[in-house]
Structures are given as structure tokens and as C-alpha cells.
Amino acid sequence: MTLLPRPLRGRAALAIGAVAALTLGGVAVSPAVTAAAATGCAVTYTASTWQGGFSANISIKNLGDPVNGWTLGFTFPDSGQKVVQGWSATYSQTGAAVTARSMSYNGALATNASTTIGFNGSWTGANPAPTSFTLNGVTCTGSTTPGPTPTVTPPTNGTPVGINGQLRVCGVNLCNQYNRPIQLRGMSTHGLQWFAKCYNTASLDALANDWKADLLRISMYVQEDGYETNPPAFTAQVNNLVDMAEARGLYALIDFHTLTPGDPMYNLDRAKTFFAAVAARNAAKKNVVYEIANEPNGVSWATIKSYAEQVIPVIRANDPDAVVLVGTRGWSSLGVSEGGNESEVVNNPVNAANIMYTFHFYAASHTDTYRAALSRAATRIPMFVTEFGTVTYTGGGTVDLASTTTWLNLLDQYKISYANWTYSDADESSAAFRPGTCSGGTYTGTAVLTQSGAYMRDRIRTPDNFPTG
């Protein structure tokens, strides 16, 4: 059965290896910290490995004069290591020597400016980290005086953001400031144009303190009386909810909620305008994740990929560190709802670093075939379930607790983060609150919850146990 548009709807087998530690000039650098370089540049190299393959991210910081166009050079320590597919740079390899050249959108690096590139690789003998890098021929030597290994101070704020800090993608996982895989669990708003009254001080206090959630997905519809009718007002509304989430230590997932039409290119200019604004305004925050296209449908993966590769640089120009989420074909079903599967994304990933791919399901409609596709994908590419329902794809019908439980157990197994549809009092069985709740002032406890809401509250309230070591 396929995912279909509807009124008022939103729409590991891979073992993570040890993160490679990079030593520059005799200083051991922890995966999350870049050593100070004495001569022009600093590089942080992190990698997640599995049998025969690995994924690497490289952060480049220019400590010398501004450059307009750069070339990064390094040599693999083992002759069996190969670059297979890269992003955010053009790669070439001769023997063990690798060269990465800047793209048009990230070639200009001012003094102290940084950019991040990455690649997927293969290995046959061993997979050690490169130990020397050059930027435009200048060796990134690092300090010549060994010092203590940098550490991250343990958090004193016990909120999700206080514990985990700035998120990043490592291998196929979402990782925290300690480079440890984590899973975020939370709720999605309904359309802000219809249910703004549901998102206030009391309701977000309930989400953070009663539900003990980790994130709020902010669903800003573009059509259907949404953003296109008043861009400044909707942008301000999103930013206000980002601030409210931040104040409670919640991650804020900014959802550019495209659904009808299904071609994201229809909203390309709007997306560039919107994401330039919110990325510039929220760049200093650690709690923001960007979802650039909710549910592409009726178009090829190539079209979606092209859209992503035009929008992501707009975000990166202002917010280079935030995680970006890319919708997949067939209403974000990895193509399953349109007769495809995850291989189209696995074999042709978006050329960008620090990104994840989205998957949506409705438990009463989407079962084993969908679960199998997500399970396979989760061992190859980073996945994030930005929307799911306990009911049918219509947003209504009987709550299917058995299928929902099977789904959430699978997400827990792979540490796939998720947001449930929907934290609202919509008159549909997917809503968490009983109709009329948002006209009152009480959001805590179970008396105001639907069957779906009570189930999700109980599930989300279980301890996160975020790793900090």
C-alpha cells in the first residue's frame, strides 16, 4: 500500500567502528576537537568503519590568509584504502595519495573560516587515519609542543541539548558532542496555519517535562495556506518555536513541509529564501536540525537529489555545522511507495556532508515491506524518521499498537531518531490530544490524551541514557 497525500496530514548490522584519532605535530586530537595549527591550517579527520568500508568526515580550518579555491592533500597509510564516493569536493586518487578540490560554493575560506567535506571509502588490509594534510601546499602541522589531550566538559544541564550539544552525522548514525551514536525521540506539530494555538508555554513545558521528549518537529506547510501566503510571518513563527524549544533544552527540527505538489523543485526559490533566513538567524544555536523537503512524491530521486544539492549550500553558507535531513522518493518511503527501494539512494547519495535521509510510515498501513527497506538502508546510510503515525496513511482509523510497537522496536535497534505525527488536538486518531484540548490550558497527564497520545507519551518517557563517555 502506498503513502498518499491527505487533508491536514504531515507528511546495527553495520557496526560503528572506533572513531579514528588524528595526530598532528605530536598532539593526539580527540574526534570532536581540532588541534591548533601553527602554520596556516587545521584538519580534523573522523571515520566510522565496518568490514571492508568506511565513511570519513574532514573538517578544514584556514588559519592563514584568505583563499578563494583550495586543494586538500593527504595520503592513506595503507595501500588498500580507496575513496569510493565523495561529497563537497572533487576527489582524485593516485596510489595512496588523495587530492580533494573545492566546489564553487565552498572554495572561499576567510581567515579562521572552516568547511567540511567527506567521502565513503573501501579498505582491504587496514584502515588507519591519515596523519598529514596539506591545504594549497601548506602543511597543516599543528602544535609542535605536546600537551594534554583535549576533553569536553561534562554537561551540567540535564536536558537533551545540554547533554548532547551540537549534533553531527558519524557513519550511519546521529552522534552527539562526544561522537557517540544517539537516538532522539519526540513529536511533530501539525500545520502551524491550523494549530498554532497548540504550541505555547504550557504545551511545550508538557512536552519537555511531562513527556520528557528530546525534540520538537516544527512543521511549516509551504502550500495549503502556509508559508507562500506570508513568508515573513511564518518564518517568524518558526523562529519563535525554535527559541521556545531551545529554552527547554529540546532539539528543534525545522520542517519545510512540502507535500502537494510533490516536486520539491516547485518550491526551490522559496526554500532558498526560507533556509537562508532561518539558518542565518539560528546559526549559533546547537539545537537546530533542518529538514528541507517533507515528502517528495511523483518525481525521480535524481530530481530530489538535485534539489538537495542546491538548497544545502544555502544552509551551509550560514550554518556550516548543523545536520540537514533530505526527503526520499515516494512520500519519504525510500521509494517503496512508488515501486522502488533504498538502493537508489544508497547507490547515488547526495553530494554533501553531515546529512541524513528521511523515512515516513503509518503503522496500520505500512508493515513488513517498509520495515525491510528501512532495515537494509540503516546499515548503509544515515536515516531519520521525521514523521510516523500509529494509524493509517489517512491520519485516521484504528490505532495499530502492535505494528507501532514493532516499528519502534526496530527504530530503537538501529538508534534511528523519530518524531510522531502529531502533537495537536486535530479531530483524527493520529493526534496526541483529545479534540478541544488546545482551547484549554492543561496538557499534562493522560486525561487529555487520545489512545495514540497516551501510547506515545509512555514510550517517549522511558530514559534516554545518552552516552557521554
pLDDT of 19 strictly over 60 = no
pLDDT of 21 strictly over 50 = no
pLDDT of the residue at 20: 32
The DSSP code sequence of 111-170 is TT-EEEEEEEEE-SS--PPP--EEETTEE----SS--PPP-PPPPS--SHHHHH-S-EEE
- Are the CB atoms for 331 and 11 separated by under 8 Å? yes
pLDDT of 153 strictly over 90 = no
- Are the CB atoms for 57 and 170 separated by under 8 Å? yes
What confidence tier does 142 reach under pLDDT thresholds 50, 70, 90? low
Mean pLDDT value across the chain: 87
Q: Is 28 exposed, middle or buried (0-12, 13-18, 19+ CB in 10 A)?
A: middle
Entry field: residues in the chain = 469
Q: 288 in helix, strand or coil?
A: strand
Place of cell 546495527: 12
Rounded to whole angstroms, how far apart are CA atoms 413 and 12?
7
| Of 420, 422, 417, residue with least CA distance to 435 | 422
CA–CA–CA angle 325, 330, 331 (5° rounding) = 60
What confidence tier does 301 reach under pLDDT thresholds 50, 70, 90? very high
Rounded to whole angstroms, how far apart are CA atoms 223 and 59?
37
Architecture of domain 22-139: Sandwich (2.60)
pLDDT of 8 strictly over 70 = no
- Are the CB atoms for 219 and 256 separated by under 8 Å? no
Architecture of domain 171-461: Alpha-Beta Barrel (3.20)
Q: What are phi and psi of 216, to 5 degrees?
A: -120, 120
CB neighbourhood size of 62 (10 A): 24
Q: How do the domains of the chain map onto residue ranges?
A: 22-139, 171-461
Highest mean pLDDT pick, 26-35, 156-165, 353-362: 353-362
C-alpha cell at 279: 539558518
pLDDT of the residue at 157: 67
Whole-model pTM over 0.85: no
CA–CA–CA angle 56, 329, 373 (5° rounding) = 70
pLDDT of the residue at 229: 97
Q: Is 399 exposed, middle or buried (0-12, 13-18, 19+ CB in 10 A)?
A: buried
Place of cell 482551547: 439
Q: Which residues are catalytic?
A: 295, 387
Section 329-349 average pLDDT: 97
